[in-house]
Structure formats: C-alpha cells, structure tokens
C-alpha cells in the first residue's frame, strides 16, 4: 500500500468510527452512572429515523438533528423510568428499546412515506455537507502531510468534528467537574452519594439525558451525514460494537476513541482485504474481520489481555431504604 492508500484507508476508518465513538461516549455516561445500556443500538436507530424523516419533511437538517436528539432522549428516559423508578431489569429494558426502535421506525416509515420502510432521499442541502478546511486543495498538493490535511483532517461533516471534540469534553467533564465526580461515584457506590445528600435518581437521569443526546447525534450522522436517507435496521449492530468498544476501553473516554478508531480501521479494511491473499494464512474471510471487534472484546473480558472492571454498582437498581 502506498501512503496515499493508507491515508484513504484511515479516512474511511474515521467515517466508520464516528458513529461508534458517539455511541460509545453515550454509553459511557449511562454505564458510569451505574445503568447498563444495551439499548444504544435502538436509540441510534430511532435517532437515525427521526433525523431523516424530519429533514425530508421540513428540508432542514438541523431540525432533523434536533428531532433525532429528541427521540433518542425520550427513549433514554423510558430506560431511566424502567431502571430507576421501577427498578426493572436494565437488560430487558435495553432489549425492549431495541425492538421498539426496530418496530416503530419501519412501522411509521411505511405508513408515512410508503417506500417499504425507507425515508425519501435527501437533497444535498438537506444533509450535513462536508466541510473543507481552509486551503485544503492547495495544501493537499504537498505529499503525505498535505494529503493528511486534505483527506484525513478536512472534508468531513460537522458531526465528525463534533464527535472528536466530545472526547476531550467528556474526559474533562468526567475528571474535572462536580458532575463528573458524582457520576463516577454513583456508578461505584450510590449509597455514598445518597448519604452525602445527593439524589441518586436525579443524577442518573441527567446522565441518561446525555446518553440520549449523543445517541441521537450518532443516529443523525448515519442517516443525514453519512447516508442520505433512513433504511430498515440501518444501524446494523453498530450500537453493540460501540458497547464492545466502551468495555474494551474500560469505560474511559480517550481509550474509547482509540478503540472505536481501531474498530473503524477493521471495518474499512474489510473491503480492501476482500480477495487479498496473505502469505502463510491465505485469504482471510471478510466475516473473520467483521467478528474481530467482538472476539477482541471477549478476549479482553476473559482477562487474557488486562482486566475490564466495570463500575461496581452497574446493573443494580438503587434501593434507598434498607
């Protein structure tokens, strides 16, 4: 591979990684607060549909983004209601939300647009367009450094830059702010927070709002930035890969970014590796590369490469009395 090939590969890796990053950071807020979220997938899907449908109807991609965030937050609040107020099983709730999104998006898509579950194609001005950084074309003439600037850094939609901005923001919030301190505490020992006079429920609600917002952005990215419409089950497991990435990153923001980028590289190279003969191994099936993120996560969880210790209180409803 030439340097240009590598840069192009990395560029498409970034595109694959962005929704994962947003969803993984979304999951970080929820899981750090002690609430398991296997419903990232559903929230992204709901967001993707809301964004595409709203953008198609109103012609405004920003309204689409707002709708995506709204829908995703509502779903997150359902999860909060089940997990916090009814002390229900968080895994069941996540499974239900995934089904709910799968069902509702196609049901409403069918009924509203009558295109077999997809939404109408968006015109370029109804989508997030790519932003060219200053002098991208000119600097791009410089070999390697210039190409990196033009191909890799420039020419992405605003959501891509937002996603990368959210990593330091999340790290800052988590480690440098009051909210972050409490968030980390509530996932470890909610009772410590409760006895300090802080409402566990309210804090978890706030965390889940953030989770909803970020999942909504991730969904909007899929249908209005990367794609130009919504199609049935368009998240196709990305929410679960994001969850895997979050675990792989041991629930830390920077590591989550790197893991998502790694998984992005895996996805991007799938296409390129098709039919490529490797010395000694021969041809590697695409499916093996598809499965790799999951296999890596299993291996990590099994403690063969380090240990992934989840927040201690995760998955347990907090019962204040007794």
Q: Which of 13, 30, 90, 118 binds another protein (CB under 8 A)?
A: 90
Stretch of 65-73, 159-167, 197-205, 255-263 lying at the interface with another protein (CB under 8 A):
197-205
By CB under 8 A, tell whether 195 contacts another protein: yes
Cα–Cα–Cα angle for 289, 149, 151, nearest 5°? 45
Stretch that binds another protein, among 3-11, 118-126, 147-155, 195-203 (CB under 8 A): 195-203
d(CA 143, CA 30) in angstroms, rounded, equals 43
Residue 270 contacts another protein per CB under 8 A: no
Told to check if 6 binds another protein by CB under 8 A, we report no
Helical segments of 222-252, H only: 238-248
CB-CB contact of 53 with 63 (8 Å)? no
Interface with another protein, residue 12, by CB under 8 A: no
- Our CB check for another protein shows the closer of 40 and 148 to be 40
270: burial class by Cβ within 10 Å (0-12, 13-18, 19+)?
middle
Name the residue among 65, 81, 41, 13 with its Cα closest to residue 225: 65
Closer to another protein by Cβ: residue 131 or 288? 288
The nearest distance, CB 245 to another protein, in angstroms, is 12
Binding mask 105-144 for another protein (x = CB under 8 A): -xxx-xxx----x---------------------------
Whether the Cβ atoms of residue 237 and residue 40 lie closer than 8 Å to each other: no
∠ CA 254-264-38 to the nearest 5 degrees?
70
Which lies closer to another protein via its Cβ, residue 199 or residue 316?
Answer: 199
The contact mask relative to another protein for 238-257 (x = CB under 8 A, - = no) is --x--xx--x----------
Exposure string over 151-168, b if 16+ CB within 10 A, otherwise e:
bbebbbbbbbebbbebbe
**Rounded to the nearest whole angstrom, what is the least distance from the CB of residue 89 to another protein in the complex?**
6
Asked if 36 touches another protein (CB under 8 A), the answer is yes
Question: Whose Cβ is closer to another protein: residue 62's or residue 294's?
Answer: 294
Under the binding rule (CB under 8 A), the answer on residue 43 touching another protein is no
Q: Does 53 bind another protein (CB under 8 A)?
A: no
169 near another protein, rule: CB under 8 A: no
Q: Please state, in angstroms and rounded to a whole number, the distance separating the CA atoms of residues 93 and 312.
A: 20
User: Does the protein bind another protein through residue 305 (CB under 8 A)?
Assistant: no
* Angstrom distance (rounded) from CA 131 to CA 127: 12
With CB under 8 A as the contact rule, the residue among 104, 161, 162, 258 that binds another protein is 104
Token pair 């498409």 in the structure block, residue: 12
Residue 233, SS3 per DSSP: coil
Using the minimum distance from each CB to another protein, give the nearer residue, 77 or 158. 77
281 counts as binding another protein under rule CB under 8 A: no
From the list 3, 59, 92, 168, which residue makes contact with another protein (rule: CB under 8 A)? 92
CA atoms of 67 and 52, how far apart (whole Å) = 9
Which listed residue (6, 8, 63, 100) binds another protein by CB under 8 A? 100
The phi, psi pair for 310, rounded to 5°, reads -70, 160
């Amino acid at each position: 591979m030439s340097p240009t090939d590598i840069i192009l590969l990395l560029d498409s890796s970034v595109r694959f990684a962005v929704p994962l990053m947003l969803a993984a950071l979304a999951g970080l807020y929820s899981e750090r607060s002690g609430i398991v979220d296997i419903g990232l997938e559903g929230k992204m899907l709901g967001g993707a549909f809301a964004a595409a449908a709203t953008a198609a109807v109103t012609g405004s991609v920003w309204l689409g983004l707002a709708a995506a965030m709204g829908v995703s937050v509502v779903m997150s609040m359902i999860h909060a209601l089940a997990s916090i107020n009814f002390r229900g099983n968080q895994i069941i709730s996540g499974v239900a939300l995934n089904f709910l999104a799968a069902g509702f998006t196609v049901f409403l898509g069918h009924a509203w647009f009558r295109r077999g579950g997809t939404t109408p194609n968006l015109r370029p001005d109804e989508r997030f367009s790519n932003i060219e950084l200053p002098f991208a074309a000119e600097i791009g003439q410089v070999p390697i450094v210039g190409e990196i600037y033009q191909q890799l850094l420039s020419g992405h939609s605003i959501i891509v830059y937002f996603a990368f901005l959210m990593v330091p923001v999340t790290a800052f919030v988590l480690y440098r702010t009051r909210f972050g301190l409490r968030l980390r505490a509530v996932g470890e020992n909610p009772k410590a927070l409760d006895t300090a006079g802080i409402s566990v429920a309210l804090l978890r609600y706030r965390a889940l709002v953030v989770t909803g917002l970020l999942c909504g952005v991730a969904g909007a990215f899929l249908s209005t930035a990367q794609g130009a419409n919504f199609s049935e089950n368009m998240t196709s497991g990305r929410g679960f890969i994001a969850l895997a990435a979050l675990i792989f990153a041991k629930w830390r923001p920077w590591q989550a970014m790197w893991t998502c980028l790694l998984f992005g590289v895996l996805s991007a190279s799938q296409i390129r590796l098709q039919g490529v003969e490797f010395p000694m191994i021969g041809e590697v099936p695409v499916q093996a590369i598809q499965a790799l993120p999951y296999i890596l996560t299993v291996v990590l969880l099994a403690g063969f490469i380090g240990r992934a210790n989840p927040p201690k209180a995760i998955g347990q409803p907090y019962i204040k009395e007794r």
